[in-house]
Structure 1
Amino acid sequence: MSKGKITVIGSINMDLVTITNIRPQVGETVLGESFSTVPGGKGANQAVAAARLGADVTLIGCVGPDAFGLELRNHLMNEGVSFREVQNETKKHTGIASITVSDQDNSIIVVPGANEEVTPTGIEPFIDTIVGSDMILLQLEIPIHTVEYVIKKASHNNVPIIVNPAPFQPLSMETLEKVTYITPNELEEKMLQVVNMKEKVVVTKGNKGVSIWDNGKFIDIASYNVDVVDTTGAGDAFNGALAVALAEGSSLEDACRFATAVGALTVTKLGAQSGMPTREDVVAFLESQNSKGQKLTF
Structure 2
Amino acid sequence: MEMNRRWDVLAFGDPCVDIVLAADQLPVIGEKVLGRPVGVFAGGTEANVACAVARLGRRSAVYGRVGSDAHAAMLRRTLEDFGVGTEPLVVEPSAQSACAIAMLAGSGERAIVYLPMPPRPADPPSLDNALHQAAIAYSMPYELDAFLTLSRAARRASTLVAIDIEAAVAPDAAAMWSRVEAADIVFFNEDGFLAGTGEQPGREALGKLLRAGPRRVVVSLGAGGAVAMDRDGTFASQAAFPAKVVDTTGAGDTFNAAFLVAYMDGRPLAEALRFGCAAASCTVAAMGARAGLPDRAAVESIAGPMPAAAQGAVSC
Change (3 A) 1:75 1:44: same
* Aligned residue runs from structure 1 range 179-218, under 5 A: 179-193=183-197, 196-198=208-210, 200-214=216-230, 215-218=232-235
Matched, 1:88 2:92: yes
Q: 2:260 aligned with 1:250, yes or no?
A: no
Structure 1 distance, partners of 2:165, 2:28, is: 29
How far, CA to CA, are the matches of 1:217 and 1:270 in structure 2?
36
**Equivalent in the alignment of 1:138:** 139
| Structure 1 segments unaligned to the other structure (5+ residues) | 288-295
Question: Could you report, residue by residue, the CA deviation over 1:62-110 in whole angstroms, capped at 9, with x for unpaired residues?
Answer: 1110111111111111111101123526x32011100010022000000
What are the within-5 Å matches in structure 2 for residues 42-121 of structure 1?
42-83=45-86, 84-88=88-92, 91-102=94-105, 103-113=107-117, 116-117=119-120, 119-121=121-123
Indicate if the aligned counterparts of 2:141 and 2:179 stay in contact, CA closer than 8 A: no
| Aligned residues with identical type, % of pairs | 26
Distance 1:230 1:173 in 2: 31
User: Is 1:37 aligned to 2:49, yes or no?
Assistant: no
Structure 1 residue 154: Cα displacement: 1.3
| TM-score of the pair, normalised by structure 2 | 0.82
Distance 2:33 2:179 in 1: 45
2:148 and 2:182 in contact (8 A); partners too: no
Question: In structure 1, how many angstroms separate the alpha carbons of the residues matched to 2:71 and 2:19?
Answer: 11
Q: Distance in 1 between matches of 2:48 and 2:179?
A: 24
2: CA distance, partners of 1:43 / 1:171: 20
Once the 2 structures are TM-superposed, how far is the Cα of residue 61 of structure 1 from its aligned partner?
A: 0.8
1:273 counterpart = 2:290: yes
Count how many residue pairs are aligned between Structure 1 and Structure 2: 285
Measure the CA separation in 2 of the matches of 1:272 and 1:204.
Answer: 17
The answer on whether the counterparts of 2:20 and 2:40 sit within 8 Å (CA) in structure 1 is: yes
2:164 maps to amino acid: N
What is the RMSD computed on CA atoms of the aligned residues? 2.5
Residue 245 of structure 2 is aligned to residue 228 of structure 1: yes
- Kindly indicate whether the alpha-carbon contact (under 8 Å) linking 1:155 and 1:178 is maintained by their aligned counterparts in 2: no
Contact 1:47-1:240 at 8 Å conserved across structures: yes
Q: Which 5+ residue runs of structure 2 have no aligned equivalent?
A: 198-205, 308-316
Q: Which amino acid aligns with 1:285?
A: I
Partner of 2:311: none
For 1:211 and 1:21, how far apart are their aligned partners in 2? Answer: 32
Length-normalised TM-score, structure 1 = 0.86
The alpha-carbon distance between structure 1 residues 216 and 140, as it changes in their structure 2 partners (threshold 3 A), is: closer
Contact 1:135 1:247 (C-alpha < 8 Å) held by counterparts: no
2:134 aligns to what SS in structure 1? Answer: coil
User: Where does residue 153 of structure 1 map in the other structure?
Assistant: 153
